[in-house]
Copies of this chain bind each other. A is one copy, B any other.
């Protein structure tokens, strides 16, 4: 079913070996991306051990063999997924124009962004969770991982410094601690939505609490950072 139509349809006009509109029949980049997308879904849904190579391959436009061809092993594919997903959030964080805002507004913006990102990218949250189950041993092999993360630290350091200079923020808070605090609250309501929902009969990650939680988190961070008067 899928297979028959698949081979023909997308290139419908494209015969086996020719190039049409710059799109090759065998597009390695496209194939890789396709595998990566499906793998992201599967690993995020099932975990590293729970995911099945067969299941991933089946949902792909290609075959199991290609998966090994491009990523070497199940673990190699998982690593690639992790890298991908981490690079996404760090890239977006970079795009925030915090320097143009006052420190309180900037912190508000940063927390809000973090909240929204977690709320929207549940695959990311789940994959981070999964990677922690495995002691982060896969992400540790990534070369770019550490460098990439230093950028956030810098962002927060600047933010705090400006607030302290303006007499608005306290000066005894470690930037990584602050980041941890923000992450905690944004992450937890997504990561533990299921047990929480089962325990209290209410999904903490659902749309009904989104606005309320966003405000609660922003406010608590600001209250915490505000200098005592």
Cβ-defined contact, A195 with B139, below 8 A: yes
Cβ-defined contact, A194 with B129, below 8 A: no
CB within 8 Å for A133 and B224 given contacts A185-B184, A187-B188, A202-B176 = no
- A96 → chain B, closest Cβ, in Å? 18
- Chain A, residues 20-52, CB within 8 Å of chain B (1/0): the string is 000000000000000000000000001111100
Cβ-defined contact, A180 with B189, below 8 A: yes
- A173 → chain B, closest Cβ, in Å? 8
Residues in chain B near residue A183, CB distance under 8 A = 188, 192
Tell me if A140 is interfacial: C-beta within 8 Å of chain B: yes
Q: Which of B48, B129, B176, B216 contacts A129 (CB 8 A)?
A: B129
Cα(A188)–Cα(B125), bound, Å: 12
**Residues from 52 to 72 in A contacting B, C-beta threshold 8 Å:** none
Cβ-defined contact, A153 with B200, below 8 A: yes
Q: Which of B133, B176, B193, B213 contacts A177 (CB 8 A)?
A: B213
Tell me if A4 is interfacial: C-beta within 8 Å of chain B: no
Tell me if A3 is interfacial: C-beta within 8 Å of chain B: no
Tell me if A204 is interfacial: C-beta within 8 Å of chain B: yes
Residues in chain B near residue A129, CB distance under 8 A = 129, 132-133, 191-192
- Chain A, residues 65-102, CB within 8 Å of chain B (1/0): the string is 00000000000000000000000000000000000000
Cβ-defined contact, A216 with B181, below 8 A: yes
Residues in chain B near residue A149, CB distance under 8 A = 199-200
A-B contact pairs, 7 of them (CB 8 A): A129-B129, A129-B191, A146-B198, A146-B199, A176-B200, A187-B192, A220-B221
| Given A49-B49, A181-B216, 9 additional A-B pairs, CB 8 A | A129-B191, A135-B194, A136-B195, A139-B198, A146-B201, A149-B200, A176-B202, A181-B217, A187-B188
